[in-house]
Structure formats: C-alpha cells, structure tokens
Amino acid sequence: MKKFVAGRAPKVLQIAALFVVVSMFTTGTAFAQDGPTTQEIAFAIDNLTMFICAVLVLFMQAGFAMVEAGFNSSKNTINILFKNLIDVSLGAVLFFLVGYQIMYPGDFNGFFGFGGIGIPAQDALDPNYLPHYQVDFLFQVAFAATAATIVSGAVAGRMQFRAYLVYSAVLTGIIYPISGSWKWGGGFLHEMGFYDFAGSLIVHAVGGFAALAGALVLGPRIGRFNSDGTANAIPGHNITVAALGVFILLVGWFGFNPGSVLAMTGEANTILVMVTAVNTLLAAATGAVAATIISVFFMKKPDIGMALNGMLAGLVGITANADSVTNISALIIGLIAGILVVVGMIALEKLQIDDTVGAFPVHGICGVWGGIATALFGNFEPGIATLSVQLLGSAIYCVWAFGTMYTLFSVLKAIGWLRVDEEEEVAGLDVVEHGTLNYPEFVGAAVVEI
C-alpha cells in the first residue's frame, strides 16, 4: 500500500492517455455531449477498483476465520469465529474514530500525529489524490483488521475472551496505525527510503510478531509439549475448512496486492496492477510447492498443513514487493518463503512455543523475508529500498509490534485476564467463554468423555 507514488508517470499524463482511450470509446455512443467527463470516468474506475479490492480484503477475514477454526479443536471454534468477528467490527469502529487519521495524519513529525476523528472531507474530484478518502478508508480498515486477526490463530484455545477484546482494540486503534504512519503516512521510514508495497512488514510482520508475543506470554496449550521437550500433535478438527480458508485468502490477496497500486486508470497503472496480480499468484504457487517438498524431507510424507501455510507464506513474502520485482523473482521469493515457513514451524516446536496455526512463521518470518526480498530483487531508484534501510525498517516493525504487545499481554497476565484455567481449557472455550457449542452433536456424544 503506498499513498505517495514516487517515480512514476505523472497523473496528468496518465489521465491524458486515458482521455484518448475513453473518448475513442465514447464517440460511438449517445451520451458524448452530456455524459461524464473523462476525468469522472477515470475517477469512477479507480474508485470502483479500490472498492472491489477493499471487499476482497474484507473477505480475507472469512479466510482467516476458516483457517484458524479448521486448524483448531472443535471445542474452540465459536471462540475463534467470535474473535475474527470482533477484529473486523471493533476494528472498524476504532479505526474510524482514531486509527485512520493516526495512520494518515497529514503533515506530522514523522513518528506520531493525529489528523482528527473520522474520515477527512474531500472534494469529489481531486486530480492529485485518487482514490476518494471514503473508499480508501474501506481499503485501509480491512488491512488493519487483517493485522489484528493474525494473532487470534496463534493464541487459540487458551486466552480469555476479554483479553482478546483489549488486545484487538489496542492493535487496530493505536499500535498498527502508529507504525503504519511511519511509512504509508509519510513518516520517518518513508523519508529514509524504506519500501513496503502492500505491507509484508506493516501489516503481516506486525501481526506475526504480535502473535509471537501472545504465544510466548500465554504459554503452550496443555499437552502440546512433553516434559522431555518433545511435541504432541493437537489436531485441527476440520482440514476441509482450513483449506477453504487458504483458498479464500489466496483470492482475497488479489485485492490486497493489486489494490495497493491504488489506481487502475492510466496505462502504467493498469499494467502494474496486472504484474502485481501475476507476481502474487506465482509466489503463492512456489510457496505451496516448496513447503510440500520440504515437509516430505522433514516428515516423510507431504503435510497438508505445511503446504497450506506454504501458500500463505509465499503470499506474505511477495506483499512488500509485488509491484517492483519480475515474474521470475516472484517465483524465487515464494519458493524461499515456502522453505522458511516449514523451518520456522519446526523451530517453534523445538523451542516449545505453541503457535496453533503457524501465524508467526507465516506472517512474522515471511513478512521480514518480504521486506528483505524487496531490497534483493526490487527495481528501484538509488536510495530507495536499499538492503540496509530494509533491514532497519524490518527490525523497527518487529521490535515495535513484539515489544508493545509483549508488554500488553504481560499486563493482562498480571491482572489475571490472560489465560483460562486448566479445567476451562480442557472443556473448551466455546462452552466456557460463550456458553454454547459449535458441534453439539459430537461434543455431547457419550463416548467422547470417558
């Protein structure tokens, strides 16, 4: 996501080019005289593109919900669905009230600013600023909810619901917008030449490192690790649903990345959107293939959980650079992300950190990889996205998200709000926290509790 387009064809030229195309089209029709101007049509197309992309990114919430629910026990599904619902609903309210104008404060000191409550007013046709703030808010709020919802999978099965509400509010309302402003709001990282196209770091690494903080402070689910350090599987209850979730995320990512061009009109923009879309698919594909092969190496059989996470890893890795790398580079970026995610998941297991869905390897590790890959593979003007600035920016986002969230979760732990007790954990959060069961016909079955 970039609000400040640097080093591209000036908007005026783009619109002029469009004018030619559109006027050729409209001369054959009846409304040439009284119909919309070329500028209006360009405005409509850009906003329509943004609107469709925003809806696609919002639909990713469904993908996250399905992935997390499918990879977890049936006794915790309502809790997971609820958390995803809260991320987008509480997130929309808070991002509207404070988050949006913290993230885009206008002129500010580069570290923290606040432009005011709500969405700024904007004249319908500002040729220098497409798209309209209203649709831009829709797109941005979907990103904020994505960053928040990454955590819910990692902490599944043992966190109190009220703790999650606090976390979700703080992340979407404050933490994510502040660090977002450092780049996309035109803050100090933007000034330094840091580049993150659609948020490998700003969205995914922030969510991924917050997830790591949550998993660490919470501790593993009971029975996840043995006293000798070995791990036990706590199987997901529905891999069909998890796989559907990954496919939804794949589709949603075509809003996330191509939408981040923020424009469709103008030849350069149109081509850029399509290159971005192709790169997104290629990285997803090699991510899944690489994870499949690596899982055979480590686990003797192709592991569906690893392969699905491999696809997500490829998508996260390409998010920072989908607009600035070649198709071949996209293949390599996804491939390496697919390897990193499997190694990361195995490493977490060795370190006895219980991230139930692999949120940290997918979004944290591969988010950082995306930031670094931008420097390694991207095509930029001198001074933009150098390896040193990309490394520095990556470190800042990781430390920021991990530090603030580790503190928050520790405070919640200290006041006894963080974790449910052992008996509640065994019974499942659905019945303990929400008083109902998602699958009453199995969970109530006689043989289950013996």
Partner 1 sequence: MHIQLVKNEALNNASVPYIAEVSMGNDVTHLWRDYRIPVYYNKHKENGYSAEIAGFQVASETAERIPDLMKYLIENLTNVARLPNYAFVARRAQRVYPVYTIEDEVMVVTPNGPIFRHVELAKVRQYLTEYLHKTRILGKDGKSDKLHVRGIDPNTLGLRRPVFYLKKRDAADGDPFWAPVFENGAQDGVYAYAASSRRDVAKGVGPSVVWDLRNIVAHVLVTDKRLSDDNDLRADRIMPRYWQKLTESMTPTGKALVADALRLPIYEVNGKFIAVERRENENRNGIYVGDTLADLEARVAKDMIRRGHLSNAGALSVEAADASDEENIANDDLTLIEGIGPKIANLLAEKDILTFATLASNEPDAIKDILNQGGPAYNRHDPTSWPEQAALAAAGDWDMLNKLQEELVGGKYALA
- By CB under 8 A, residue 234 contacts partner 1: yes
- By CB under 8 A, residue 446 contacts partner 1: yes
Task: Determine which residue in the list 121, 124, 233, 414 makes contact with partner 1, applying CB under 8 A.
Answer: 233
21 versus 426: smaller Cβ distance to partner 1: 426
8 versus 434: smaller Cβ distance to partner 1: 434
Q: Count CB-CB contacts under 10 A for residue 89.
A: 13
Q: Which residue has the tokens 């309209």?
A: 132
Could you tell me which stretch among 58-66, 164-172, 220-228, 320-328 binds partner 1 (CB under 8 A)?
220-228
Cβ 443 to partner 1 shortest distance, Å: 7
238 versus 279: smaller Cβ distance to partner 1: 238
Task: Provide the β-strand partners of residue 199.
Answer: none
Which one-letter amino acid corresponds to residue 315?
A: L
136 versus 433: smaller Cβ distance to partner 1: 433
Rounded-to-integer distance, Cα 196 and Cα 319, Å:
8
Task: Determine which residue in the list 232, 379, 388, 407 makes contact with partner 1, applying CB under 8 A.
Answer: 232
- By CB under 8 A, residue 224 contacts partner 1: yes
| Residue 277: strand, helix, or coil | helix
Q: Is 424 exposed, middle or buried (0-12, 13-18, 19+ CB in 10 A)?
A: middle
Task: Determine which residue in the list 27, 227, 240, 436 makes contact with partner 1, applying CB under 8 A.
Answer: 227
- By CB under 8 A, residue 299 contacts partner 1: no
Rounded-to-integer distance, Cα 433 and Cα 415, Å:
18
- By CB under 8 A, residue 226 contacts partner 1: yes
Under 8 Å between Cβ of 390 and 371 = yes
Q: Single out the residue of 95, 65, 103, 58 nearest to residue 82, CA to CA.
A: 65
Binding to partner 1 in span 73-102, by CB under 8 A: 73-75
Could you tell me which stretch among 98-106, 215-223, 313-321, 327-335 binds partner 1 (CB under 8 A)?
215-223
For residue 183, the 8-state DSSP code is T
- By CB under 8 A, residue 447 contacts partner 1: yes
- By CB under 8 A, residue 426 contacts partner 1: yes
End-to-end Cα spacing for the chain: 53
Rounded-to-integer distance, Cα 210 and Cα 206, Å:
6
Could you tell me which stretch among 12-20, 72-80, 391-399, 402-410 binds partner 1 (CB under 8 A)?
72-80
User: Residues 6 or more apart from 411 whose CB is under 8 A from it?
Assistant: none
| Residue 275: strand, helix, or coil | helix
- By CB under 8 A, residue 301 contacts partner 1: no
Task: Provide the β-strand partners of residue 225.
Answer: 231
73 versus 390: smaller Cβ distance to partner 1: 73
- By CB under 8 A, residue 437 contacts partner 1: no
**Upper half-sphere CA count for residue 301 (Cβ side, 13 Å):** 3
Binding to partner 1 in span 385-424, by CB under 8 A: 422-423
Under 8 Å between Cβ of 303 and 339 = no
Task: Determine which residue in the list 428, 429, 433, 438 makes contact with partner 1, applying CB under 8 A.
Answer: 428
Point out which residues bind partner 1 (CB under 8 A). Answer: 73-75, 221-224, 226-227, 230, 232-235, 237, 422-423, 425-426, 428, 443, 445-450
